[in-house]
Amino acid sequence: MNQLRKEKIGKYIQEKGVVTIKEISALFPDVSLMTIHRDLEKLEEEGSIIRTRGGAVSATPGVSPIEMKLEARMQTNMKAKREMAQKALQLIEPGSAVFLDAGTSSMALAQALPDMDVNLFTTGPNIALELGRLSIPTIHMCGGTLNRMNQAVSGQSTLDMLDHINISTAFLGVSGYTQEAGFTCGKEDEMLVKRMMMRRAGRKVLLMDSSKCGKILPYTFGNIEDADYIISDDQLPEEVVLRAKEAGTEIL
């Protein structure tokens, strides 16, 4: 391992706070991705950084790795997430029942939501706490088993509760999308929650920025034809836009 390169990477991450693999690769164009991943593994072993999906975050004394990873995910594509949240607001009708999936895109929507008369259901404890700043909405926190890494609850208790609720509009996060596999996520329990909402909700709204396209995770919960809306960052691949048009799925 090149000690000087590793030190430069560590210093860069400490200065930036949150970085992506792409940023690090740009600093060392002659170094392979595999080598950079090995450097990051060593830095994490030394306790100076915490690796995240697609990058790394500077380790902060007194803050748990889980908290740091959640913060890093929130900071990734934050501008796009805020723009997507503003688009999503136009689909929320006063007096309706709205489901907010766990995840950073839903958190951005929760942060943008005005104080209005609406029934809000969520599988994200952190999202429920964010919504607690509002005084008018009724907030319903789904029960279930907590995944600490992404602050999502799931399991049979979650499914039983949601199976008895008439959701007008469901906002669902997407971890990956390909034309063949459709919308995918990484956990089976969370897939079951998303799949239920795809089946039961009056309107299915997928929150998917362009960075999710081309990624595939183990569990499929739907495809473009199953969605009513896709809210994006206006940079979706042409084949996704064409397929949505053919399916009658509106892209905002």
Q: Which residue range forms the structural domain that includes residue 189?
A: 78-251
Strand order through the sheet with 203-207: 138-141, 119-122, 97-100, 169-173, 203-207, 229-231, 250-251
pLDDT in tens, 64-119: 455 545 555 555 567 888 899 999 999 999 999 999 999 888 999 999 999 999 99
pLDDT digits (tens, 9 = 90+) for 157-210: 999 999 999 999 999 999 899 999 999 988 899 999 999 999 999 999 999 988
CATH number at residue 182: 3.40.50.1360
164 in the same domain as 70: no
Give the pair of three-digit tokens for residue 21.
Answer: 């693999």
Best CA proximity match to 134, nearest among 120, 123, 124: 120
Query: Which of 48, 75, 102 is at the close of a domain?
Result: 75
Minimum mean pLDDT range among 46-55, 93-102, 119-128: 46-55
Q: What's the pTM?
A: 0.73
CA distance 116 to 137: 6
- The last residue of a domain, from among 43, 59, 75: 75
